[in-house]
Structure 1
């Protein structure tokens, strides 16, 4: 988000609306999971619905003021979203789950909340032998996701991103092979 909204004050004002839009989109077209006290939230898009569309975004209503984002911010949002969509298409083939957003309030990080929110969909994905995919721009998130079975499938600079990078990560579907050979 630093790329989209480089000014910290503007980012603090706009981010809640952008996150609200993501949550509302996933409430209608995906799945949203939250910890009991809302310390953490995960927004997932299910197989077959992993590409947000402008029509659907408009149907839930804008949750932020484009004027607060500014023309430059809107241009950067579009640029970042198009680039992420290209990476998404490049690294996923067939049905999969897409983790659009995962957030845990900083005072509650490191307490297992994010892990628990991931596991809810991992159980669904594993039952159907489906992979899970995500992108992150935060290098601190990479290790967290790796500990949960994701692997980096690409690490690339974001075009015009002033040095920012995008990590595309994939958690493979569990093997359909038994873990140990059965004896007859």
Structure 2
């Protein structure tokens, strides 16, 4: 029996935030943004809540029916390279709401915006989370493939930033390839911007 996936609504908000928080506690980028285990446990969930709210309002959150996984997708319209998002007020607003004294909350948003491809409209996989005890069972692949099937039908590319070598390998198996140069966070880990062209039927 396959993984049952549905679109999340406001009623799913708390479970999505909890799942993102659990799944990303040990992620290299989360550890860089919130250094120190106690600090991260106390603060990290607020950033996950901010991300969830943005995508519930502007994109699409998909969840597995059993609650084991979720994926946050944003539709990105076609735009000129000079239009980038790095100068807008969004990153500063998120920092103010989440952790005002932590400049890395704002910096990560600006750095990833700077490497985000301009030009063609595409689907952006902002985050994907699988419950730690369910990782390695294909839940993440099923969540990604659900949207990639739609991308293929609509002839839309997809984009993401892999935050670990392990996740990069998973995305490569799903048809993503490195685009541009990796992003090396200041005194931190590497992120890999990855792009997938739609596949014809």
Same-fold status (TM-score > 0.5): yes
Structure 2 regions of 5+ residues with no counterpart?
1-29, 80-84
Name the CA shift for 1:156/1:25 in 2 (closer, same or farther; >3 Å): closer
Contact 1:25/1:56 (CA < 8 Å) preserved in 2? Answer: no
Q: Quick one: distance in 2 between partners of 1:41 and 1:123?
A: 17
For 1:70-128, what per-residue CA distance to the aligned partner results, in whole angstroms no more than 9, with x for missing partners?
51x2x11211111100100xx34210000001010111011111111112211221111
Name the CA shift for 1:81/1:56 in 2 (closer, same or farther; >3 Å): closer
- The match for 1:76 is 104
- The match for 1:15 is 44
Q: Secondary structure of the residue that 2:172 maps to in structure 1?
A: helix
Runs of 4+ in 1 over 3 A off after TM superposition: 49-58
- The match for 1:93 is 119
- The match for 2:135 is 109
Q: Secondary structure of the residue that 1:114 maps to in structure 2?
A: helix
1:139 is aligned to 2:143 = no
Question: How far off its partner does 1:139 sit?
Answer: 2.0
Name the CA shift for 1:37/1:151 in 2 (closer, same or farther; >3 Å): same
What TM-score, normalized by structure 2, do the two folds share?
0.72
Question: How far off its partner does 1:137 sit?
Answer: 2.4
1:171 is aligned to 2:196 = yes
Name the CA shift for 1:106/1:48 in 2 (closer, same or farther; >3 Å): same
Q: Secondary structure of the residue that 1:162 maps to in structure 2?
A: coil
Computing the radius of gyration from Cα coordinates, the structure with the larger value is 1
1:122 is aligned to 2:151 = no
- The match for 1:162 is 187
Structure 1 regions of 5+ residues with no counterpart?
179-184
Q: Secondary structure of the residue that 1:142 maps to in structure 2?
A: helix
Name the CA shift for 1:166/1:112 in 2 (closer, same or farther; >3 Å): same
Q: Quick one: distance in 2 between partners of 1:98 and 1:23?
A: 14
